[in-house]
Structure 1
Amino acid sequence: MNEKIVSIYVLDASYEVIGSEPHIVIWGVDDNGNRVLLRDRRFRPYFYAIIDDSHTNNIELIKSSIKRLSKPKSPITSVELVEKRFMGKAVKALRIETVIPEFVREYRADVSRIPGVKAVVEADIRFSLRYLIDNDIYPCTWHRFKVVEKPKSFEYRVDKEYEVLDILNRDEDRLMPPKLRVMAFDIEVYNPRGSPRPDRDPIIIISIMNSDNETVLLQAQGKDDRQLIVKFIEYVNKYDPDIIVGYNSNNFDFPYLVERARKLGIKLDISRRRGVEPSKSVYGHVSVPGRLHVDLYDYAEEITEIKVKSLDEVAEYFGVMKKSERTNVPWYEIYRYWDDEKLKPLLLNYSRDDVVSTYGIAEKILPFAMQLSSITGLPLDQVGSASVGFRLEWFLLRIARMRGELAPNRVEKEYESYKGAIVLEPKRGVHENVCVLDFSAMYPSIMMKYNVGPDTLVFNECSDCYEAPETGYKFSKQPEAFFKTALTILVNARKSVRDLMKNLPQDSPEYRILDARQRALKILANACYGYMAWTGARWYCKECAEAVTDFGRETIRKAIAIAKNLGLEVIYGDTDSIFVKYDKSIVEKFVDFVEKELGLEIKIDKVYQRVFFTEAKKRYIGLTVDGRIDVVGFEAVRGDWAEIAKELQERVAEMVLKTMDHRKAIEFVKEEIEKIRKLSSQGSIDIQKFVIWKTITKPISEYEVEAPHVTAAKYMIKSGYSIEVGDKIGYVIVKGAGKISDRARPYIMVDARDIDVDYYVEHQIVPAVLRILEYFGVSEKHLKSIGRTGKSLFDYSKK
Structure 2
Amino acid sequence: MTILKFYLLDVDSRFREGEAEVRLWGLTEDDRRVVLLDNTLKPYFYVVAEDVESLERRLRTIKDVKGFELKEARVFGKPVKAFKVYVLDPDKVDSTAEVVSKLEGCGGVYDDDLRHTQHYLLDYDVQPCGWHIVEVEPTDKEGIRVDEAYRLLKPPTAIEYQKSVTFRVLAFYMIPLPSKGSPKPERDKIACLAFRTSEGYAEVLNSEDVTERTLIEKFMDLIEKFNPDIIVGYGTNTRDWSYLSKRAEVNGLRLKVGKDGSEPHRSLYGHVSVAGRIALDLYDYAEDIADIKIKTLENLAAYLGVKVKEEPIEEYEISNLWSSRDGRRRVLDYASDRCKVIMECFREFIEYGCQLSNLVCIPLDHVCTAAVGFRVESYLMKCSRKFGELIPKRVEKPYQPYAGAIVLEPKPGLHENIAVLDFRSMYPSIMMKFNISPDTYVEPEAEVSLEDVYIAPEVGHKFLKKPDGFYREALKRLLEARAEINRRLKGLSPDSAEYRVLDARQKAIKVIANAMYGYAGWIGARWYRRPIAESTTAWGREALMETVNYAMKIGLPIIYGDTDSIFVKYDRERIEKLINYVSEKLGLEIKPETVYKRIIFTEAKKRYAGLLADGRIDITGLEAVRGDWPEVAKRIQREVIKVILETGSAKQALEEARKMLNEVEAGKVPIT
User: Which residue number in structure 1 is paired with residue 198 of structure 2?
Assistant: 211
1:514–1:219: structure 2 CA closer, same or farther, 3 Å change rule?
A: same
Unaligned runs of 5+ in 1: 53-57, 689-799
**Residues 1:68 and 2:58 are matched in the alignment:** no
C-alpha distance in structure 2 between counterparts of 1:526 and 1:231, whole Å: 46
Paired amino acid for 2:107: K
C-alpha distance in structure 2 between counterparts of 1:184 and 1:503, whole Å: 35
User: Which residue number in structure 2 is paired with residue 706 of structure 1?
Assistant: none
User: Which residue number in structure 2 is paired with residue 128 of structure 1?
Assistant: 117
Identity %, equivalent residues: 42
**Residues 1:479 and 2:467 are matched in the alignment:** yes
Cα offset, 1:556, TM superposition? 0.9
Contact 2:126 2:156 in 1 (8 A): no
Cα offset, 1:192, TM superposition? 4.4
Structure 1 segment 631-670 matched on structure 2, within 5 A: 631-636=619-624, 641-670=629-658
Match of 1:438 among 422, 426, 429: 422
Match of 2:365 among 378, 381, 403: 381
Cα offset, 1:439, TM superposition? 0.3
Structure 1 segment 726-737 matched on structure 2, within 5 A: none
C-alpha distance in structure 2 between counterparts of 1:30 and 1:306, whole Å: 37
DSSP 3-state at the match of 1:433:
strand
1:146–1:473: structure 2 CA closer, same or farther, 3 Å change rule?
A: same
C-alpha distance in structure 1 between counterparts of 2:642 and 2:492, whole Å: 38
User: Which residue number in structure 1 is paired with residue 566 of structure 2?
Assistant: 578
C-alpha distance in structure 2 between counterparts of 1:122 and 1:62, whole Å: 18
User: Which residue number in structure 2 is paired with residue 794 of structure 1?
Assistant: none
C-alpha distance in structure 1 between counterparts of 2:210 and 2:38, whole Å: 47
C-alpha distance in structure 2 between counterparts of 1:163 and 1:668, whole Å: 70
User: Which residue number in structure 1 is paired with residue 271 of structure 2?
Assistant: 285
User: Which residue number in structure 2 is paired with residue 335 of structure 1?
Assistant: 319
User: Which residue number in structure 2 is paired with residue 453 of structure 1?
Assistant: 437
User: Which residue number in structure 2 is paired with residue 88 of structure 1?
Assistant: 77
Match of 1:301 among 287, 310, 314: 287
User: Which residue number in structure 2 is paired with residue 745 of structure 1?
Assistant: none
Structure 1 segment 78-477 matched on structure 2, within 5 A: 78-154=67-143, 156-172=144-160, 174-222=161-209, 224-274=211-261, 276-321=262-307, 323=308, 325-326=309-310, 328-459=312-443, 460=446, 461-462=448-449, 463-477=451-465
Deviation string 1:438-494 (CA, Å, 9 cap, x unpaired) is: 101100111111110111012333322221122121111111111111111111111
User: Which residue number in structure 2 is paired with residue 622 of structure 1?
Assistant: 610
C-alpha distance in structure 1 between counterparts of 2:419 and 2:653, whole Å: 26
1:168–1:206: structure 2 CA closer, same or farther, 3 Å change rule?
A: closer
C-alpha distance in structure 1 between counterparts of 2:653 and 2:223, whole Å: 56
Cα offset, 1:246, TM superposition? 0.8
Contact 2:631 2:671 in 1 (8 A): no
Cα offset, 1:524, TM superposition? 1.1
Contact 2:664 2:671 in 1 (8 A): no
DSSP 3-state at the match of 1:166:
coil
Structure 1 segment 568-607 matched on structure 2, within 5 A: 568-607=556-595
C-alpha distance in structure 1 between counterparts of 2:637 and 2:493, whole Å: 41
Cα offset, 1:267, TM superposition? 0.5
Contact 1:202 1:224 in 2 (8 A): no
C-alpha distance in structure 1 between counterparts of 2:317 and 2:595, whole Å: 47
Q: Which structure has the greater CA radius of gyration? A: 1
Contact 1:46 1:97 in 2 (8 A): yes
Cα offset, 1:197, TM superposition? 1.4
Cα offset, 1:320, TM superposition? 2.5
Unaligned runs of 5+ in 2: none
1:433–1:502: structure 2 CA closer, same or farther, 3 Å change rule?
A: closer
C-alpha distance in structure 2 between counterparts of 1:414 and 1:195, whole Å: 37
TM score, norm. by length of structure 1 = 0.80
Match of 2:494 among 501, 506, 520: 506
Paired amino acid for 1:390: F
1:237–1:428: structure 2 CA closer, same or farther, 3 Å change rule?
A: same
Contact 2:664 2:670 in 1 (8 A): no
C-alpha distance in structure 2 between counterparts of 1:181 and 1:632, whole Å: 37
DSSP 3-state at the match of 1:342:
helix
1:498–1:634: structure 2 CA closer, same or farther, 3 Å change rule?
A: closer
Structure 1 stretch 614-623 or stretch 277-286: which is displaced more? 614-623
C-alpha distance in structure 1 between counterparts of 2:88 and 2:363, whole Å: 24
TM score, norm. by length of structure 2 = 0.94
C-alpha distance in structure 1 between counterparts of 2:84 and 2:289, whole Å: 43
C-alpha distance in structure 2 between counterparts of 1:416 and 1:639, whole Å: 32
DSSP 3-state at the match of 2:171:
strand
Structure 1 stretch 288-297 or stretch 175-184: which is displaced more? 175-184
Q: Which has the higher contact order (CA 8 A, sep 6+)?
A: 2
1:662–1:327: structure 2 CA closer, same or farther, 3 Å change rule?
A: closer
Contact 1:141 1:177 in 2 (8 A): no
Q: CA RMSD in A?
A: 2.2
